[in-house]
């Protein structure tokens, strides 16, 4: 069975541009979460979606947005990119969204903003 897949794997953008990152969860998983991992730090929670509804949002500016599609895949959009947005963006999926549930992570999209 396929794990969580993310695309693209690497991306280079310039300041002010827009970027869209994509995530396909494990088949049957209805919850998708997004995390930002800056080099040398732990992942920071950005969004969680369950059954196509936003169920949680971390402390990120409105330049960050996301959505979940009927097939449970998800997109993360970032507008007006800043140098500080350079990071590894991780997508995670789970069956539902219970507090003690295991998350399955993709390998991430490495975003570099020049």
Judged by the rule CB under 8 A, the positions of this chain that interact with another protein are: 3-4, 31, 33, 35, 40-45, 48, 50, 55-56, 58, 90, 92, 94, 97-103, 105-108
Nearer to another protein, 6 or 19 (CB): 6
Closest contact distance (angstroms) between CB of 41 and another protein is 6
SS3 annotation, the chain: CCCCEEECCEEEECCCCCEEEEEECCCCCCEEEEEEECCCCCCEEEEEEECCEEEEECCCCCCEEEEECCCCCEEEEECCCCHHHCEEEEEEEECCCCCCCCCEECCCEEEEEC
Nearer to another protein, 78 or 93 (CB): 93
Closest contact distance (angstroms) between CB of 17 and another protein is 25
Closest contact distance (angstroms) between CB of 3 and another protein is 8
């Amino acid at each position: 069975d396929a794990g969580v897949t993310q695309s693209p794997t690497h991306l280079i953008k310039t300041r002010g541009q827009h970027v869209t990152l994509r995530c396909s969860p494990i088949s049957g998983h209805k919850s998708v979460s997004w995390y930002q991992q800056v080099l040398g730090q732990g992942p920071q929670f950005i969004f969680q979606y369950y059954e196509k509804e936003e169920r949680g949002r971390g402390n990120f500016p409105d330049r960050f947005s996301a959505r979940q599609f009927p097939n449970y895949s998800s997109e993360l959009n970032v507008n007006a990119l800043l140098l500080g947005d350079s990071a590894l963006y991780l997508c995670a999926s789970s069956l539902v969204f219970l507090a003690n549930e295991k998350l399955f992570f993709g390998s991430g999209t490495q975003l570099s903003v020049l």
